[in-house]
Amino acid sequence: MERSDWRTVLLVTTWQISASICYYTIFAATPFFRTAFGLSRFSVGVVVTALTLGYAVFLLPLGALTDRFGERTTLTLGLLGLATGTLLVAGAPTYALLLAAVFVLGSLYGTAIPGTNKAVFDNIDPGRQNLAMGIKQVGVTGGSGISALLVTGLAGALFWQAGFLVAAAVGLLVAVAFYRLYASDSEGDEPGYPDFRKLLSNRAYRSLIVAGLFLGAALFTTTGYTVLYVEESVGASVAFGGVVLALVQLFGSVGRVLTGWLSDALPGEPRIRIGSLLIAQSIGSAVMFVVVASTTSERGAAIAFSVLGFFVLGYTGVYYSVMATLVRADEMGGATAGGQLALTSGALVAPPAFGYLADTVGYRTSWLFLAAVVTIAAGFLVQVVRTEPTVTNPAAAGESD
């Protein structure tokens, strides 16, 4: 990539890291919520659902606004809002207000995927976009890993809200820096709103977002229950659980960069080669959920969750790279908002279902439930690969170099 491309990737990735630090504080803090508010495992799942509900409700409007006003404005305001939402969570005195604050935090994270994806596909040259996507998506896992260590580490040294305060401060500083340094090449384009009806007429795109419903259920439930599972089922400390979650995110980052590079480097028609990678990641996730269900030792948990992270958290860059082979560049804001809405919608139901199964039957059944979920996703992804898209000039056009 050229110097200007790397500058864009660096800025967008830094933004994504900061945003994810704020957003994923909720997943790292689930044991503290349970203790502070006296919650059951099911109620912990409701907290995750409130977060993702806010995300889901605002994704499409924020995606449309990104296409209309550009990513510089929406990403800056979004990160300022995320920092504010993080402070609201830290100060919530009751469970009801915690749910409200978490909803606000989730809603502002809806600027992330539409804005950062639009930045990549508007500014990075074809043939390098998938690698850029993989690097940019490392910001999600990187931010989540930092958040896990930050929240669980500072809770032991200070108090459980300390990590939230640091996350909010980082968000505010990066928002100001991003606004001053980022300049979008797409600012001169004629603004407009996406045509969601036209997007949904694309059969391959429809199959992809249905697959995303199941993939998102697995991803968000995994991050939401890793720390709690390691503490309660494996018998480790919360701090060790935070380390395991950080490993999940680290190996997810490796998966995102590696599959992003493979998406550019492998031969063949882009939709087929990238879609096949996503199918392989889904099947790998299913296998590792079965392995995690049988894990009982600290070492075994660290290894199993790390490999699981490579697959189940490593797919998002490829998910959007597949999408870019199905829609036009000027539709990417709205299209990725729809795709992320599908991912998030899966997380509205799956975490409480996982928690209910853990309460009534046991964690083993819960993990096997997620294995079945990603297997269903793989079936829909096969349909994506087999279905010809209706777009003749997709955002990710051309063969690999």
**120 in any annotated domain:** yes
Distance between CA atoms of 308 and 260, rounded to whole angstroms?
A: 18
Distance between CA atoms of 110 and 113, rounded to whole angstroms?
A: 7
Tell me which of 123 and 72 has the higher pLDDT: 72
Confidence at residue 399, expressed as pLDDT on a 0 to 100 scale: 41
**399 in any annotated domain:** no
Confidence at residue 396, expressed as pLDDT on a 0 to 100 scale: 60
Confidence at residue 194, expressed as pLDDT on a 0 to 100 scale: 56
Distance between CA atoms of 147 and 360, rounded to whole angstroms?
A: 30
Q: Write the CA distances from 199 to 98, 151, 225, 335, 336, integer angstroms.
A: 36, 40, 34, 7, 11
Amino acid at 156: G
Tell me which of 124 and 384 has the higher pLDDT: 384
The region that residue 370 occupies, defined by phi over 0 for left and psi between -120 and 50 for alpha, beta otherwise, is alpha
Task: Please state the domain count of the chain.
Answer: 1
Share of the chain above pLDDT 70, in %: 89
Triad 50, 51, 57: Cα angle to 5°: 80
Which residues, 6+ apart, have CB-to-CB distance to 142 below 8 Å? 17, 20, 249, 253
Q: At what angle do helices 129-157 and 112-123 cross, to 10 degrees?
A: 140
Residue 215 pLDDT class (50, 70, 90 cuts) = very high
Distance between CA atoms of 373 and 286, rounded to whole angstroms?
A: 8
Tell me which of 60 and 93 has the higher pLDDT: 93
pLDDT in tens, 242-301: 888 888 878 888 888 888 788 777 877 888 888 899 999 999 999 999 999 888 888 888
Confidence at residue 191, expressed as pLDDT on a 0 to 100 scale: 52
Q: 293: closest CA among 354, 245, 347?
A: 354
H or E segment and range at residue 366 = helix 363-386
Distance between CA atoms of 119 and 186, rounded to whole angstroms?
A: 8
Confidence at residue 380, expressed as pLDDT on a 0 to 100 scale: 94
Residue 149 pLDDT greater than 70, yes or no: yes
Confidence at residue 126, expressed as pLDDT on a 0 to 100 scale: 65
Ordered DSSP codes for 177-241: HHHHH---TTTTSPP----HHHHHT-HHHHHHHHHHHHHHHHHHHHHHHHHHHIIIII---HHHH
Q: 339: closest CA among 194, 177, 233, 224?
A: 194
CB distance 253 to 316 below 8 Å: no
Distance between CA atoms of 297 and 234, rounded to whole angstroms?
A: 6
Amino acid at 207: S
pLDDT in tens, 161-193: 788 899 889 989 999 988 888 876 454 444 555
Q: Write the CA distances from 14 to 67, 83, 143, integer angstroms.
A: 21, 15, 9
Distance between CA atoms of 374 and 210, rounded to whole angstroms?
A: 12
Confidence at residue 140, expressed as pLDDT on a 0 to 100 scale: 78
H or E segment and range at residue 385 = helix 363-386
Q: 104: closest CA among 167, 37, 55, 160?
A: 55
Distance between CA atoms of 98 and 396, rounded to whole angstroms?
A: 41
**391 in any annotated domain:** no
Distance between CA atoms of 296 and 362, rounded to whole angstroms?
A: 13
CB distance 263 to 281 below 8 Å: no
Q: What is the mean pLDDT of the chain?
A: 82
Which range is least confidently modeled, 3-17, 204-218, 331-345?
331-345
Tell me which of 68 and 227 has the higher pLDDT: 227
CB distance 141 to 223 below 8 Å: no
Which range is least confidently modeled, 85-94, 100-109, 129-138, 162-171?
129-138
Residue 337 pLDDT greater than 50, yes or no: yes
Q: How many CB atoms lie within 10 A of CB 96?
A: 10
Confidence at residue 369, expressed as pLDDT on a 0 to 100 scale: 93
Residue 307 pLDDT class (50, 70, 90 cuts) = very high
CB distance 187 to 72 below 8 Å: yes
Q: In the numeric block, which tokens belong to residue 30?
A: 């689930």
Give the mean pLDDT of 296-314: 89
Triad 279, 19, 59: Cα angle to 5°: 65
**43 in any annotated domain:** yes
Residue 122 pLDDT greater than 90, yes or no: no
Residue 295's φ and ψ, nearest 5 degrees, are -80, 130
Residue 9 pLDDT greater than 70, yes or no: yes
CATH number of the domain that 59 lies in? Answer: 1.20.1250.20
Residue 274 belongs to domain spanning = 3-182+193-386
**398 in any annotated domain:** no
How would you class 260 by CB atoms within 10 Å of its CB: exposed for 0-12, middle for 13-18, buried for 19 or more? buried
Confidence at residue 188, expressed as pLDDT on a 0 to 100 scale: 42
Residue 341 pLDDT class (50, 70, 90 cuts) = confident
Give the mean pLDDT of 301-329: 85
**111 in any annotated domain:** yes
Residue 329 pLDDT greater than 90, yes or no: no
**27 in any annotated domain:** yes
The pTM of this model reads 0.69
Give the mean pLDDT of 93-117: 87
Q: 31: closest CA among 150, 144, 155?
A: 155
Residue 60 pLDDT class (50, 70, 90 cuts) = confident
**132 in any annotated domain:** yes
CB distance 302 to 244 below 8 Å: yes
Residue 330 pLDDT class (50, 70, 90 cuts) = low
